[in-house]
Amino acid sequence: MLEIKNTLLSDVSPSLVTALCKIKDMHWPHGLDSQLDWWHRNSDADDRLVALFENGAPVAFLRIRNRVVTVNGHELTAACATEVSVSTGAQGRGFGCLMLDAVAQFVRNGQAELGYLLCEHKQKAFYERCGWKPVADVEIMDSSGVVRPLRDHEFCMICNPEGDGVDGLTLYGDVF
Ligand SMILES: CC(C)(COP(=O)(O)OP(=O)(O)OC[C@H]1O[C@@H](n2cnc3c(N)ncnc32)[C@H](O)[C@@H]1OP(=O)(O)O)[C@@H](O)C(=O)NCCC(=O)NCCS
């Protein structure tokens, strides 16, 4: 049986956090202690978790971070999807797209005005397959106020319920 949950991170049990860090470690192998340390240092109380369970066991997850972006000078609330991870034994069964659809649904429900994520070239085709679209004109303002464009191998993918193209997107923070 497959179950998908969209929940506030603050409601997630420590044992589930450990299980999700083990899934992350399958793809970014830094060791469980390092994963847990990173998780606790980089989690905000209002982060959300989309997690997939098969017969009660977690098999995939992503995090949604609440962000503000600017599109052509207008501030929008945004749902930023990060850490998209499917456990190695469960890849290729549609779970990745299912979770991306949950983010799109979150945006369609009005919980954010735009969904976006950042990825590298090798993941771009996967996100396009899930219906997300690349944005060409993106700049990033880091925490010290320095602005730079995306680099050649970096991509920003969006899901936009209005269906309009998005130009002139500015992201904020120390991303990538
Ligand atoms: C990338 C990842 C999230 C995909 O999840 P998944 O559950 O294996 O993918 P799905 O089964 O939902 O695939 C959906 C479609 O995308 C395609 N697809 C999957 N990975 C792809 C890739 N890397 N490139 C191109 N297409 C891809 C699938 O073939 C499938 O297409 P189909 O329906 O025509 O067969 C997963 O493999 C993963 O966790 N990878 C390691 C971590 C990672 O790189 N995360 C992304 C960080 S930005």
Could you report the per-residue pLDDT of 13-69, keeping only the tens digit for each? Answer: 999 999 999 999 999 999 999 999 999 999 999 999 999 999 999 999 999 999 999
Q: Does ligand 1 have an atom closer than 6 angstroms to the CB of 84?
A: yes
Q: Average pLDDT, stretch 109-134?
A: 96
- What atom of ligand 1 comes closest to residue 28's alpha carbon? 42
Mean pLDDT for 100-108 is 96
Query: What proportion of the chain, given as a percentage, has pLDDT over 90?
Result: 89
Among 58, 55, 49, smallest CA distance to 15 is for 58
Domain of 126, in residue numbers: 2-172
Q: Does the C-beta of 5 come closer than 6 Å to ligand 1?
A: no
Q: How far is CA 126 from its chain centroid?
A: 13
Ligand 1 atom nearest residue 127's Cα: 16
**C-alpha span between 99 and 88 (Å, rounded):** 16
Q: Whose CA is nearest to atom 33 of ligand 1?
A: 94
Ligand 1 atom showing the smallest separation from residue 98 Cα: 12
Identify the CA nearest to 175 among candidates 73, 74, 42.
42
Q: How many CB atoms lie within 10 A of CB 30?
A: 12
Give me ligand 1 centre to Cα 130, in Å.
9
Q: Is the CB of 89 under 6 A from ligand 1?
A: no
Q: Is 70 helix (H, G, I), strand (E, B) or coil?
A: strand
* Distance in angstroms between the alpha carbons of the first and the last residue of the chain: 35
* Mean pLDDT, range 71-85, rounded to an integer: 95
- pTM equals 0.95
* CATH number for position 65: 3.40.630.30
Distance 147 CA to ligand 1 centre (A): 31
**pLDDT for the residue numbered 160:** 86
Give the chain's domain count. Answer: 1
